[in-house]
Amino acid sequence: MKRLSILLIFIMLRLAFAIDHPTYDKNKHTMSNWESQATTHLNITSAALLSRKNNRCIMLNNYWCLKDFGWSGSIGKDDDTHSAFVDGYYAARAAVRNARSAYIKHGRKSAHAIMEAYAPLSDCIGSNRARRADGTCIHGKNDPTVYSKMVAKGITNDIKSDLFLFDKDGKATDNLVLFLQNMSAYELSGPRVQDATIKKGICLEDSSCKP
């Protein structure tokens, strides 16, 4: 009886460790908790998620398909160097930091200016895995203009005007939330990141809340 109790405790501890410490499968390029993370952070149902099992950025908990730059919360990367995040909140923080860098540090104020750098015309849609051996793109090349119109939707009709993602003091505005939602919908071909997740990413970046 005592041995059985010890075994049960051991199993429970292993299960708790597995839940609290998500892992990255470098062969399948998936996070172990991607399904629960997707239903937590995206406006998508468990049933609808079944049709998204081939969406690598959802399976990486990386809803903006961010490339790996040593982001906090990233524990791996796929063969196109997209980061794998332990939690979608870390992806949101990275997306906020990425937008802040583009807007404030590099002075890219408009949707077009940001997308020219984020999705340059020289890159293939789908990154390197969508590039043939001869260098041509299977799905064509990125179109910053199309992407710009999507991310600016609801903010401005002029893709070359200031998006006002941050105010004069460098604080994130409501426009940033919508911008990042639009961006996630484009990258994930439909599903959008929820407001709460992006706002948590903003406060994590501002160090005003805990992970």
pLDDT tens sequence across 93-148: 999 999 999 999 999 999 999 999 988 887 776 666 666 777 777 666 778 899 99
Q: What is the pTM of this model?
A: 0.85
Count of structural domains within the chain: 1
Q: Is 143 within the bounds of a domain?
A: yes
Structural domain span for residue 111: 23-205
Segment 164-171 long-range contacts (CB within 8 Å, at least 24 positions apart): 165/99, 165/103, 166/100, 166/103, 166/104, 170/100, 170/104, 171/206
Q: What does the alpha-carbon distance between residue 198 and residue 15 come to, in Å, rounded to a whole number?
A: 29
Any domain includes 127: yes
How far, in Å, CA of 159 to CA of 162, rounded?
8
pLDDT for 15-48, tens place per residue? 444 446 899 999 999 999 999 999 999 999 888 8
Within a domain: 95: yes
The gap from C-alpha 135 to its chain's centroid, in whole angstroms, comes to: 27
Q: Is residue 12 part of a domain?
A: no
Q: Which two tokens stand for residue 75?
A: 């524990």
- Give 124-129 contacts, CB < 8 A, sequence gap 24+: 127/80, 127/82, 128/79, 128/80, 129/79, 129/80
Contact 191, 184 (CB under 8 A): yes
Q: Is residue 11 part of a domain?
A: no
